[in-house]
Structure 1
């Protein structure tokens, strides 16, 4: 008898739940590229051409097991974040936040990545003998720092493409570790 009274109550609860609004799918996860086309637009990079009071102090501390890696003498590029560059990073590195992948793997993905020439908009420097690099005069914004790391003391070995997102703001120097 108790169960007979419970069935209509459960039916009303189920009916009320069916009327509850749905919020749709969850928002994209952190690191997902923005929605929309991956078309290159020079106008999206305009903010990064301005000078600013910010800087980045970077260093490479990457290891694979006991093997330490170095970026000494390697170029470091700083690419401004735009919808196009976020899609490109997601394609090349599988992330828009950070990555450490075999450089050959990233190179193989390059032909199928969103096309465009960000070259005029990136900042460049070189990693010193202590695996450090820096950028100054940067405006507020978000950037992708990218370099190549190779095993210390080995003439051969797999090189690793390092990428990490960094934000500059407030007239400060952002510390960045790859």
Structure 2
């Protein structure tokens, strides 16, 4: 009797786990993204975003004798900014989320997965000045993604929430590359 009860529980748990893995993919159940998702961003508003993008780059030297590749920062380092590079401001939506994730994951600011016909008309552009600063004005309130690059292989992303009549100040820096989404930075312990 005890074996039979344990066996029944095992069968029920196994069947539940099997069925749980066979359900529809949650991503496939989302409503398809459309331009209507971003239409709010085309309106003129009273919000602004002022920002800068920079990080300190240190030269490195390889340490030997540890059995693994270890590097040590050398010198005071030098500041790298987004000077002269494009800063893109994308409205947050189901259509722009995968575009921004692709930019961050693959360190690209252009290409077929980035310049999608649904998203491109809603992207705002400015150029970083010589000091690595940028400004977007006349924005409606909402959630935006600011994306820029320091070098051809260093893309950075920041989520920004704007409020009517307020200027939001942001600093974009260099982030981790693992896990591949910029939204889920690893925790160090």
Identify the match of residue 45 of structure 1 among 38, 52, 62. Answer: 38
Deviation at 1:159, TM superposition (A): 3.8
- Where do 1:147-162 residues align within 5 Å? 147-150=148-151, 159-162=153-156
Determine if contact 1:54/1:171 at 8 Å carries over to the other structure.
yes
Determine if contact 2:56/2:79 at 8 Å carries over to the other structure.
yes
Equivalent pairs, count: 148
Determine if contact 2:103/2:155 at 8 Å carries over to the other structure.
no
Segments of structure 2 that go 5 or more residues without pairing to the other structure are 1-19, 21-28, 59-76, 173-189
**C-alpha distance in 2 between matches for 1:126 and 1:69:** 15
Deviation at 1:111, TM superposition (A): 4.6
Determine if contact 2:95/2:119 at 8 Å carries over to the other structure.
no
Alpha carbons of structure 1 residues 43 and 137: separation in structure 2 relative to 1, 3 Å: same
Q: Secondary structure at the match of 1:90?
A: helix
**C-alpha distance in 1 between matches for 2:143 and 2:80:** 26
Deviation at 1:170, TM superposition (A): 3.3
Which residue is equivalent to 1:128?
A: 129
- Kindly indicate whether structure 1 or structure 2 has the higher relative contact order, using CA contacts under 8 Å at least 6 residues apart: 1
Alpha carbons of structure 1 residues 114 and 133: separation in structure 2 relative to 1, 3 Å: closer
Segments of structure 1 that go 5 or more residues without pairing to the other structure are 1-23, 25-33, 151-157
Determine if contact 2:99/2:113 at 8 Å carries over to the other structure.
no
- Where do 1:13-92 residues align within 5 Å? 35-37=30-32, 41-65=34-58, 66-92=77-103
Deviation at 1:172, TM superposition (A): 0.7
Q: Secondary structure at the match of 1:76?
A: strand
Which residue is equivalent to 2:3?
A: none
Which residue is equivalent to 2:119?
A: 118
Is residue 2:171 matched to residue 1:177?
yes
Deviation at 1:160, TM superposition (A): 1.1
Which range moved further: 80-89 or 67-76? 67-76
Which residue is equivalent to 1:13?
A: none
Deviation at 1:51, TM superposition (A): 0.8
Q: Secondary structure at the match of 2:103?
A: helix
